[in-house]
Amino acid sequence: MIVGEMSGVRIPDSKLAREAAQWDPVLSWAANDLGAHFILSEGIVHVAQPAQAIRAARGVFPVDPWSVAALHVVTTLTGSALLALALLHGVRDPDQVWTAAHVDEDWNAEKWGVDEEVAARRAARLVDFRAAVTILDALKA
């Protein structure tokens, strides 16, 4: 589902394969189970999503304030409400969600090396992510 070219620059197949492995299960779940067919995009340019996809995703958000707050944290830290929903609904576990959210960053670090400031910031964000996961798990019990 991930495209292999961005603004005329060819994305390496190894990176595409890693992105697909992490994201295709989430996108398939959204399409098949929720009826939320999202339009994929490249880069950072906003792409308007179909109203039906937004309604379908919105329909599976929880209404209790603790879950909403925890999902807000997960969404903020991963950059994806869809990953947050996949976590909430047990489609992906916390490690899979964290990995999917950082697939590009991890690939770049393997290729070019780790930026220590980025690594420290990510470690701090992981603490907040784990706290949000703990809240979600406690609410399920």
What's the CA gap between 91 and 84, in Å, rounded? Answer: 10
What's the CA gap between 34 and 49, in Å, rounded? Answer: 15
More confident residue, 7 or 2: 7
Confidence of residue 67 (pLDDT cuts 50, 70, 90): very high
Q: Which two tokens stand for residue 73?
A: 């944290």
Q: Where are the alpha helices (DSSP H) in 33-115?
A: 51-58, 65-78, 81-88, 94-101, 103-112
What is the average pLDDT across 99-120?
92
What is the average pLDDT across 91-118?
94
pLDDT of residue 78: 97
Q: Tell me: pLDDT of 12 over 60.
A: yes
What is the average pLDDT across 70-95?
96
- Neighbour-count burial of 22, counting CB atoms closer than 10 A to its CB (0-12 exposed, 13-18 middle, 19+ buried): buried
Report the number of distinct structural domains present in the chain.
1
Q: Tell me: pLDDT of 106 over 80.
A: yes
Domain limits at 56?
A: 5-140
Q: State pTM to two decimals.
A: 0.87
What's the CA gap between 25 and 125, in Å, rounded? Answer: 24
**CATH no. for residue 69?**
1.10.3580.10
pLDDT of residue 2: 44
Mean of the per-residue pLDDT values of the chain: 90
* Range among 16-20, 105-109, 127-131 with highest mean pLDDT value: 127-131
